């Protein structure tokens, strides 16, 4: 019975990792992913940067950039709190076993398995923190490039065009890492299903993939950006 339980856990975690990687690769490295909401937004990042060249007064652009930085900083701080909460779960194994044992079906894990689950959750939160922290740094770099944008009188020069391309690429990289951090948060919610049962992890992982796919390829926002 114990062997069967561990087999189910291994299969569930394998399914979780496979779905996360498959979704990320499809979104970022395939032709299908180039029609996602994130990809469509990248087009408007370049439009924004190019139109920035036409304006001498760019304070509004810098204010928008500051709001992007603040949002990224919020998520980075939140991921630190999530890491602390996940670490606290390591000491709650006995209490969790008591709660889970009261269910109609005894789902209480062994102490070793509980620690493995908690460590996995910590790793996901750490990954999210690094992605958000790096995205925040990249948004800082984009703000610097905004400040170094050539004046409107030189918007038709080769220097201006090269600066737009450079800024857009860095802007896209910042958005990409921010999206990866958010994706880690979404999959962390699915990962919580494993604390109940490996079979629940199958369901919650599939649910996260469906929800995130719909937002990228079938949401109202996706339709609006394609019109």
Cβ atoms of 137 and 177 within 8 Å: the answer is: no
Give the CA dihedral 215, 213, 34, 72, nearest 10 degrees.
60
Query: What does the pLDDT read at residue 197?
Result: 85
Please provide the size of the chain in residues: 227
Give the CA dihedral 19, 25, 30, 35, nearest 10 degrees.
80
Nearest partner of 82 among 19, 35, 127, judged by Cα:
127
Low-confidence ranges of the chain (pLDDT < 70): 1-5, 93-109, 227
Query: What does the pLDDT read at residue 3?
Result: 46
Angle at CA 149, nearest 5°, toward 147 and 154?
145
Query: What does the pLDDT read at residue 73?
Result: 94
């Amino acid at each position: 019975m114990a062997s069967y339980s561990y087999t189910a856990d291994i299969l569930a975690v394998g399914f979780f990792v496979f779905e996360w990687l498959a979704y990320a690769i499809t979104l970022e490295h395939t032709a299908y992913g180039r029609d996602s909401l994130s990809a469509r937004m990248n087009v408007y990042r370049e439009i924004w940067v190019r139109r920035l060249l036409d304006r001498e007064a760019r304070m509004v652009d810098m204010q928008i950039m500051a709001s992007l930085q603040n949002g990224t900083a919020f998520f980075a701080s939140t991921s630190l709190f999530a890491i602390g909460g996940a670490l606290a779960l390591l000491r709650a194994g006995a209490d969790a076993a008591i709660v889970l044992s009261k269910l109609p079906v005894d789902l209480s894990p062994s102490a070793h398995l509980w620690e493995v689950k908690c460590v996995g959750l910590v790793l996901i939160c750490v990954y999210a923190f690094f992605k958000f922290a790096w995205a925040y740094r990249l948004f800082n770099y984009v703000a610097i490039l905004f400040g170094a944008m050539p004046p409107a009188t030189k918007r038709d020069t080769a220097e201006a065009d090269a600066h737009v391309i450079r800024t857009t690429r860095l802007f896209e990289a910042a958005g990409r890492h921010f999206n990866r951090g958010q994706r880690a948060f979404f999959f962390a919610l699915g990962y919580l299903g494993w604390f109940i049962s490996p079979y629940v992890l199958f369901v919650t992982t599939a649910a996260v993939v469906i929800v995130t796919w719909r937002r990228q390829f079938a949401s109202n926002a996706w339709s609006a950006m394609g019109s």
